[in-house]
Chain A
């Protein structure tokens, strides 16, 4: 059979179109599926649209405060249902969730190069199973409002806790703000993490290598840290209403509005949001400083947050696509500039630093090498009991219902009780 030129061109075009469509389908193998994702707020406004554009998968994104997400995840999992196809997976849940066997291992979905680039993955790797992939590089620094410092005549940024208190007092005395120190004292997770950080700032740790409490003695760092918090409150440097405020509320309603000058337990990821004039009234005034210490070199700890897939998820394959997509270098860089989420990929962080887009990059680069895990051997299964005892005790002590001594005993008793179970 002889083909004329016109027929040949038509046939070739049709073949190319067919091949293209097939390739496009191959690139989007889960197109048309819908997945639910449950994450703490805020998240990128365009996330759902961008993800659908790239993968063809529809995204039902649900956000809430970290404490509310935590409750929703645990209640749903206990009831044997999936809270979402992809959920927040906090570093502190690793021990518990691994023991309960609730999450799918992601070893087959996340390649070795990615795990190498996202060094924090190791925190979520337990017994050879990668239960989550970190998407936000959350560690603690201190956030300050530079303008408040300048207006109060404080020329240099504090390096020690004494200097920090002196600066706060100067800001208060000048009447720049009524309560210069932002510190959550409510019975929520934020109160616990602030105390952990201050324990490190006083040069100590929470537990010894055998997981025995190190905070019960009055000369221990943990004891001093809580006494320090109460002293800040007593001196009128912390708002008494902090007994009812979560850390996110202090960030959003006080620091972002210029009503407080120092966030003791600052989240570096929020710097992008605070530096954006469209989202913040303190743009250009905010900076990170390395954690002030009682003495010695600065220290901090990591609070990495990951993405995991519950075993009860109805769409695990499409869910894996979302995790891969959200942890790509491109998305991480964009998520920092648009939403302030600090990348977990070393290469993404380096790119941001080189392009000068990393807000307070110098301070973050100085703090990053000092970041330690809170529990070097991994989060214990009794972490929720410990954390709950910490924040409820801080809350009671801040309200004057118990002394520091009683608070420390209450926490130690809770740990002992939890270990028995």
Chain B
């Protein structure tokens, strides 16, 4: 006999019982559901639908164009270059953020006193709006009175009026550096939290067995924070695909540093090719999702093995 059957009608009236619990659960979830449908699923469906049409405010009607907006991106040289830039941003940013983020987390994990202050300082770039960090770095990289040139000049190097963004490859690396500077704190925080949950007994036992610090790092720490690293890499990937502000502030519309998101902005809001911009946006979303799923799948596999 289920518990619901033994609950008296009086108790049910008072809001106790299986159906009233379900109703309460539904009501609690409802705001989230409405928000998700209104702000995520509906716009996503509407964007998908529109991407198969020609939506251009300068042209009458919105005729169905099939996959034309999707096939066009393969023949569009500018879009191809922007995709190329984006993939390079993603690869470089994810590698740098992960490698240096894990190292930084391991070092901070060793700090016994004042860790919270170090963490507060490290998190600052991440907490800062991307445009603000872009402007700060614009001053650092500035050709004339820039901080970087000033420091190099003080060190005796001939860098007076050196223009860092006049070399495409260098400009690309500098934009990536700003993005990594901004996003690495997230990796540090995620990995550090995982490191702090590792039982100390494991290190003590390894120490008694005569294991060195590097050996403990590779045989105890890294395997046990694998899951956290996967989560951090997923974040890093999504954010690198969404790189916009840093490139826009530092190099404006320059082709050499233009990520796909700036290209989408130009297609939609400068050229008014709205549906083409939508198709590109969906392609970014799908690719970003696929990459992230790859990390999550690895995470799932590693968790099962553990």
Contacts from A to B (Cβ < 8 Å): 71, 74-75, 77-78, 96, 99-100, 102, 186-188, 240-241, 243-244, 381, 384-385, 388, 391-392, 395-396, 398-401, 413-414, 417-418, 421
Tell me, in angstroms, the Cα distance from A380 to B141 when the chains sit together.
38
User: Which of B29-37, B84-92, B269-277 is near enough to bind chain A?
Assistant: B269-277
Give every chain B residue within 8 A of A391 (Cβ-Cβ): 253
Q: Say whether A240 contacts B272, CB under 8 Å.
A: no
Instruction: Supply 16 further A-B pairs (C-beta < 8 A) apart from A187-B252, A399-B168.
Output: A74-B272, A77-B57, A99-B58, A188-B252, A188-B253, A240-B161, A244-B163, A244-B252, A388-B271, A392-B253, A395-B253, A396-B168, A399-B166, A399-B256, A400-B166, A421-B273
B59 close to chain A: CB less than 8 A: yes
Give every chain B residue within 8 A of A240 (Cβ-Cβ): 143, 161, 163, 166
Nearest-neighbor residue (CB-CB) of B276 within chain A: A421
Tell me, in angstroms, the Cα distance from A333 to B57 when the chains sit together.
38
Give the distance to chain B from A57, nearest Cβ to Cβ, in Å.
30
Nearest-neighbor residue (CB-CB) of A96 within chain B: B58
Give the distance to chain A from B186, nearest Cβ to Cβ, in Å.
28
Q: Say whether A381 contacts B144, CB under 8 Å.
A: no
Interface size on B, residues (CB 8 A): 29
Q: Say whether A78 contacts B163, CB under 8 Å.
A: no
Q: A78-B272, A187-B253, A392-B253 are in contact. Are A243 and B163 (CB under 8 A)?
A: yes
Q: Say whether B253 contacts A244, CB under 8 Å.
A: no
B303 close to chain A: CB less than 8 A: no
Q: Which of B255, B266, B274 contacts A78 (CB 8 A)?
A: B274
Q: A74-B272, A241-B143, A241-B163 are in contact. Are A396 and B58 (CB under 8 A)?
A: no
Nearest-neighbor residue (CB-CB) of A413 within chain B: B77
Tell me, in angstroms, the Cα distance from A401 to B254 when the chains sit together.
11
Tell me, in angstroms, the Cα distance from A398 to B166 when the chains sit together.
8
Give every chain A residue within 8 A of B273 (Cβ-Cβ): 421
Q: A240-B163, A244-B165 are in contact. Are A381 and B256 (CB under 8 A)?
A: no
Tell me, in angstroms, the Cα distance from A77 to B58 when the chains sit together.
12
Give the distance to chain B from A240, nearest Cβ to Cβ, in Å.
5
- What are 23 A-B interface contacts by the 8 Å CB criterion? A74-B270, A99-B59, A100-B57, A100-B272, A102-B57, A187-B254, A188-B253, A241-B143, A241-B161, A244-B251, A384-B271, A385-B270, A388-B253, A388-B266, A388-B270, A392-B255, A396-B254, A396-B256, A398-B166, A413-B77, A414-B78, A421-B56, A421-B273
Give every chain A residue within 8 A of B274 (Cβ-Cβ): 78
Q: A187-B254, A240-B166 are in contact. Are A75 and B144 (CB under 8 A)?
A: no
Give every chain A residue within 8 A of B59 (Cβ-Cβ): 99
Give the distance to chain A from B145, nearest Cβ to Cβ, in Å.
11
B167 close to chain A: CB less than 8 A: yes
The residue in A77, A187, A396, A398 that gathers the most chain B C-beta atoms within 10 A of its C-beta is A187
Contact with A along B265-303 (1 / 0, CB 8 A): 010111111100000000000000000000000000000
Tell me, in angstroms, the Cα distance from A391 to B270 when the chains sit together.
13
Give every chain A residue within 8 A of B56 (Cβ-Cβ): 421
Tell me, in angstroms, the Cα distance from A392 to B252 when the chains sit together.
10
Give every chain A residue within 8 A of B254 (Cβ-Cβ): 187, 392, 395-396, 399
Nearest-neighbor residue (CB-CB) of B268 within chain A: A78
Q: Say whether A241 contacts B144, CB under 8 Å.
A: yes
Contact with A along B186-220 (1 / 0, CB 8 A): 00000000000000000000000000000000000
Tell me, in angstroms, the Cα distance from A75 to B272 when the chains sit together.
9
Tell me, in angstroms, the Cα distance from A417 to B59 when the chains sit together.
16
Give the distance to chain B from A75, nearest Cβ to Cβ, in Å.
5
Give every chain A residue within 8 A of B272 (Cβ-Cβ): 74, 78, 96, 100, 384
